[in-house]
Amino acid sequence: MKQFSIEELKRDLQALDAADQLTGNVSYEVNRLKSMGSGELMKKATGMLLGGNISLKGLGLPENIFEQLEQLSKLNDVARKKYRATVMARINELESIEDAEVVKHD
């Protein structure tokens, strides 16, 4: 199994903390939109369409919501790849132990 340095592990923890924060931000915005209701959203959207000023801010969303979503997706991709590699390494390690035990018992 691959050995990690303390620095690598600390960076991984920082990335997980950043993903947690982004998840919290995105969840907050989604819940805010859900709580608005379709009538309020339509009212805001209609006002923007008639005024010709269509923006995320007009809907009550932060201007960087898409950047937050993209960053969250990237962090989650890296975390899943690293975790998948760890799980596979553990499976291989356990399988080699099981193989060794089978040989001993025969």
Per-residue pLDDT of the chain (106 residues; tens, 9 = 90+): 556 688 988 998 999 999 999 999 999 999 988 888 888 888 888 888 888 888 888 888 899 999 999 999 999 999 999 999 889 988 988 888 877 766 655 5
User: Is the distance from CB of 15 to CB of 79 less than 8 angstroms?
Assistant: yes
Residue 28 lies in a domain: yes
Residue 1 lies in a domain: no
Range of the domain at 49: 6-105
Amino acid at 86: T
Q: Is the pTM of this model over 0.75?
A: no
Residue 11 lies in a domain: yes
Task: Please count the other Cβ atoms lying within 10 Å of the Cβ belonging to residue 57.
Answer: 11
Residue 50 lies in a domain: yes
Residue 19 lies in a domain: yes
Q: What is the DSSP code string of 26-45?
A: HHHHHHHHHHHHHHHHHHHH
**Long-range Cβ contacts of 93-99 (<8 Å, 24+ apart):** 93/1
Number of domains the chain contains: 1
